[in-house]
Amino acid sequence: MTQLSPLEPGDDGAVALRAEFIGASPAFLAMLDQLHRMAASAAPVLIEGETGCGKELAARALHYHGVRRAGPFVPVNCGALPDHLLEAELFGHERGAFTDAKTARRGLVAEAHGGTLFLDEVDALPGRAQVALLRFLQDQRYRPLGSSRELSSQVRVIAAANQKLQTLAQAGGFRIDLLYRLEILHLCMPPLRERAGDARLLAKHFLALYATRYHVPPQPLDDTTLRWLDDHAWPGNVRELENWVQRRLLMGDAPAADAPRLPDEAASPANFRCAKAEAMRRFECDYVAQVLKQAEGNVTRAAQLAGKERRAFGKLLKKHGIDRLAGAA
């Protein structure tokens, strides 16, 4: 079994490993081999994969294995920032550059100088921020908002996306020239369902980890549970598996290994709160899919029909795993 984690430089400059990134399947080992080779350079990397499959973990490993491990690792979730603040967050701003800009502020690009800037959910970047990022990637130079000064920052840019940027670019939702800049190196994180045997290794790891953390007795995994772990599709990938282990340890009266059930199946219909939440989830999913179909796959138009901002509507698509191109058929 191979174990890899985000790496941290030791006091002597050596790299220390922590057992976090676990697997032994061919798909995992192939990804791991690519990761080690990519860490040897400072070229931009695009990491693609489903939600919960460990993209940030891989980004941190690339940094702490890499030539810039002595520098900072600066993560930013592009989907969590309002459109009008993204450029200011990335490149900084001068006093008075916009409303509420009462003082000048360095951006994340400057904070990451000499290290790595990790752009999570890069597919959520609005068009204007995409242009600014493209300009920066060309020569590592930028201007803070409201400033005439051109600055430079030497950083390695690692971007991550839950959906394929090539598909998004073909649909007009992402700049193709920016895609080419970001995917000089391309790392694809395999979903857990394609990592044969890794689910049981991860489950055993998480059982030991959280039994210690929560001060509860460690729980064995019986053959029935091991088979179920192998057969389950794990749409939430490693994050779903980790949450399942914690829930069984903390809430289960029997050992965590007995008669596993899906999270939705574990909620009793007699529980009003759970039943209401499930009904709302189903309504939300069906409504979003219906509006997207009515808009013929046009996300902006669908958001207008739903009375929501485009970014908020896009988050609903991602939340329910709805392909934004499905409505274009």
Evaluate if residue 20 carries a pLDDT over 60. Answer: no
pLDDT at 195 over 60: yes
**Cβ atoms 112, 155 nearer than 8 A:** yes
Cα separation values, 144 from 28, 132, 147, Å: 41, 11, 5
Instruction: Identify the architecture of domain 2-190 in CATH.
Output: 3-Layer(aba) Sandwich (3.40)
**Helix (H/G/I), strand (E/B), else coil: 159:** strand
98 vs 210: which has the higher pLDDT: 210
**Cβ-contact 109, 119 below 8 angstroms:** no
Segment 81-87 mean pLDDT? 77
pLDDT tier at 326, thresholds 50, 70, 90: low
* The pLDDT of residue 315: 81
**Bigger pLDDT: 303 vs 173:** 173
pLDDT above 90: percentage of residues in the chain: 47
CATH of 272-328, one of 1.10.3470, 3.30.700, 1.10.1660, 1.10.10: 1.10.10
In the prediction, which pLDDT does 276 show? Answer: 62
Please, which pLDDT band fits residue 254 given cuts at 50, 70 and 90? very low
**pLDDT band per the 50, 70, 90 thresholds, residue 328:** low
Under the banding of pLDDT at 50, 70 and 90, the label for residue 275 is low
Give this prediction's pTM.
0.71
Q: What CATH number belongs to 195-266?
A: 1.10.8.60
On the question of pLDDT at 274 being above 70, the answer is: no
pLDDT in tens, 5-15: 444 444 332 23
Tokens of 121: 């959910």
User: Which one-letter DSSP state was computed for residue 283?
Assistant: H
pLDDT recorded at residue 228: 92
Burial readout 298-308 (b: 16 or more C-beta within 10 A, e: otherwise): bbebbbeebeb
The tokens 């596993």 sit on which residue?
260
Mean pLDDT of 225-245: 92
Between 2 and 242, whose confidence is greater?
A: 242
Strand 141-142 and strand 151-152: the pairing is antiparallel
Reported as a pLDDT band with limits 50, 70 and 90, residue 191 is very high
pLDDT at 294 over 60: yes
| pLDDT of the residue at 148 | 76
Residue type, 270: A
Query: How confident is the model over 23-50, as a mean pLDDT?
Result: 94
Mean pLDDT taken over the chain = 81
The yes-or-no verdict on residue 18 having pLDDT over 60 is no
Predicted confidence at residue 288, as pLDDT, reads: 82
| Amino acid of residue 322 | I
* 102 vs 14 pLDDT, higher one: 102
Where along the chain do its domains lie?
2-190, 195-266, 272-328
Averaged over 105-131, what is the pLDDT?
91
Q: What DSSP string describes 124-143?
A: G--HHHHHHHHHHHHHSEE-
What type of residue sits at position 8?
E
Query: Of the ranges 72-86, 117-131, 261-275, 284-298, which is most confident?
Result: 117-131
CA gap 41, 46 in Å, rounded: 14
Number of residues assigned to the chain? 329
- Residue 193 token pair: 């369902």
Cα–Cα distance for residue pair 262/266, rounded to 1 Å: 6
Q: What is the largest CA-CA distance in the chain?
A: 66
45-48 and 185-188 as β-strands: parallel, antiparallel, unpaired? parallel
